Amino acid sequence: MKLNVGSQNQVKLAGVREAVKLYPALFPEAEVFGVEVNQETFGHPKNIEEIMQGASERAKNAFVDCDYSFGVESGFMEVPHAKTGVMEITACAVYDGKNICLGLSPALEWPKEVTKLVISGKADGSQAFKQLGFTPHEKMGALPGGIIGILTKGRVTREDLVKQAAIMALVQLERPELY
């Protein structure tokens, strides 16, 4: 069975591969491939609409010569009572050529100064974390562990968030009678 992910990002691919391993009956002998997709660019997604649109478009655009495709997108969503007003979350969309199933990861607040830079449009997440001295790396989303790995001191990684978002999306695929 062939599964495509709408990204060449190895961190996203690793998270999807880990999730898929948990479903041998649903994805027998699955192989996961990264597919470069044309993605409308809006910088760091700043609301749930942009996050879900990005994940869904990635999944649809990756549905080429495969059984299922996955789209993964991370960004900010508004959260009442959060210190910064937003939390970073990862979404996963799974597409079968007709239907999309969606799932979300756990969420967390980024440091206040990072959030200000991202929301103002002065930097994306990786640039903001680098400018503020959290990391020397240019592209944190592609680095094993990711930003969440830095903030949790390795207790939770970006791969974990992608895996959890994929598992949440796969509930609908595994249990279609409920939906």
Mean local confidence (pLDDT), 64-93: 97
Residue 168 lies in a domain: yes
Q: What are phi and psi of 110, to 5 degrees?
A: -90, 160
The structural domain count of the chain equals 1
Neighbour-count burial for 135-173, b at 16+ CB within 10 Å, e otherwise: eeeeebbbbebbbbbbbeeeebbbbbbbbbbbbbbbebb
178 pLDDT higher than 90 = yes
> pLDDT band for position 140 (50/70/90)?
confident
Dist. CA 174–CA 23, nearest whole Å: 9
CB within 8 A of 98, min separation 6: which ones? none
Give the model's pLDDT for residue 175: 96
Beta-bridge mates of residue 108: 88
Residue 122 lies in a domain: no
Residue 103 lies in a domain: yes
Give the tens place of pLDDT for each residue, 75-87.
Answer: 999 999 999 999 9
Give the model's pLDDT for residue 143: 85
Mean pLDDT of the chain: 95
> pLDDT band for position 89 (50/70/90)?
very high
100, amino acid identity: I
Residue 102 lies in a domain: yes
145, amino acid identity: G
Residue 127 lies in a domain: no
**For residue 120, what are the CA distances in angstroms to 52, 115, 128, 163?**
21, 8, 11, 30
DSSP-assigned states of every residue in 48-108: HHHHHHHHHHHHHHH-SSSSEEEEEEEEEEE-TT-SSSEEEEEEEEEE-SS-EEEEE---B
Secondary structure class of 2 (helix, strand, coil): strand
Residue 29 lies in a domain: yes
Give the model's pLDDT for residue 150: 92
CATH number, domain containing residue 40: 3.90.950.10
Give the tens place of pLDDT for each residue, 3-60.
Answer: 999 999 999 999 999 999 999 999 999 999 999 998 765 578 999 999 999 999 999 9
Residue 100 lies in a domain: yes
Residue 128 lies in a domain: no
Give residue 10's domain range: 2-109+157-178
Give the model's pLDDT for residue 141: 79
Give the model's pLDDT for residue 42: 59
Give the model's pLDDT for residue 29: 95
